[in-house]
Chain A
Amino acid sequence: MSQLHTVNKSPLDRHALASAIRHAVKGSAILMIEDGVYGAMQGTQKSDMVSHAMDDISFYVMGPDLEARGINEARIIDGIKVVDYSGFVALVAEHDTTQSWL
């Protein structure tokens, strides 16, 4: 079984990303969407939490949501892959189940 977790809340406002990381098993993926994309930025209070989880979990972030919020891809934590809407669909198709962290 492989699982995709989506997170749509800012990690500086809610604990959704922290909970997703805590509950995502090795080999699963986390996709940051909507306000969740702030979790992909370098230099925030939550950046280390994400970097430390990257050995076990693959991280993805929605490009259109980054653009909407004025976040340049150069400021994304190394190793997080930027996807578009078709990439989102592909991730859902590749994984057995999808869980939303609202």
Chain B
Amino acid sequence: MPETKKFLYVNRKAPYGTIYALEALEVVLIGAAFEQDVSLAFLDDGVYQLTKGQDTKAVGMKNFSPTYKALGDYDVNKIYVEQESLDARGLSLDDLLPLTWEDEDDDWAEKDSIKVISATEMAQIMEQSDIVLSF
């Protein structure tokens, strides 16, 4: 049994303007198959990835934001969003997609995946991760 490592995916880019956000999401979904301890961090412009109400019809691009809602089904349920980054952008938790997961150890209770944390707490999560992948 290989040792489980703590993976952290750091998302710092807005969606659509560059390919980073979509690439990160695809890597997370692929990585989820390897049963590691996965956390996602959203800071700086990365918080824009999680905004609700995205509608890409008129720009002719794929709207990949609904895919974030599937993360809970892949046991990716530690999604950290930095408070300072939201504040700088005039955003709050209410502006973000309601991401949830079902806790099989708690009678499949539906729980929130997103935790809004401070930059200080974010720094600790980064420092405590074994592998940090940046997008």
Q: Which residues of A contact B (CB under 8 A)?
A: 8-10, 12-13, 34-35, 38, 41-45, 47, 63-65, 67-72, 75, 84
Chain B minimum-CB-distance residue to A75: B90
The answer, among B15, B44, B56, for a CB contact under 8 Å with A13, is: B44
Q: Which residues of B contact A (CB under 8 A)?
A: 13-18, 44-45, 48, 51-59, 61, 63, 65, 88-90, 95
Contacts of B51 in A (CB 8 A): 69-71
Contacts of B57 in A (CB 8 A): 67
Known: A10-B14, A38-B89, A44-B88. A68 touches B63 (CB 8 A): yes
How far in angstroms is the closest Cβ of chain A from B101? 22
Give me the 9 closest cross-chain CB pairs, A-B, nearest first.
A43-B90, A35-B17, A64-B58, A70-B53, A70-B51, A70-B54, A68-B56, A67-B55, A44-B90
Provide the bound-state CA to CA distance between A57 and B117, in Å. 38
Provide the bound-state CA to CA distance between A75 and B61, in Å. 23
Contacts of A71 in B (CB 8 A): 51
Provide the bound-state CA to CA distance between A8 and B59, in Å. 14
Main secondary structure, interface of B, reads loop
Provide the bound-state CA to CA distance between A23 and B90, in Å. 26
Given contacts A12-B88, A64-B58, 6 further A-B contacts (CB under 8 A): A10-B14, A12-B89, A38-B89, A68-B54, A68-B63, A70-B51
Cβ B58 vs Cβ A34 within 8 A:
no
Chain A minimum-CB-distance residue to B97: A70
Provide the bound-state CA to CA distance between A42 and B90, in Å. 7
Provide the bound-state CA to CA distance between A64 and B60, in Å. 9
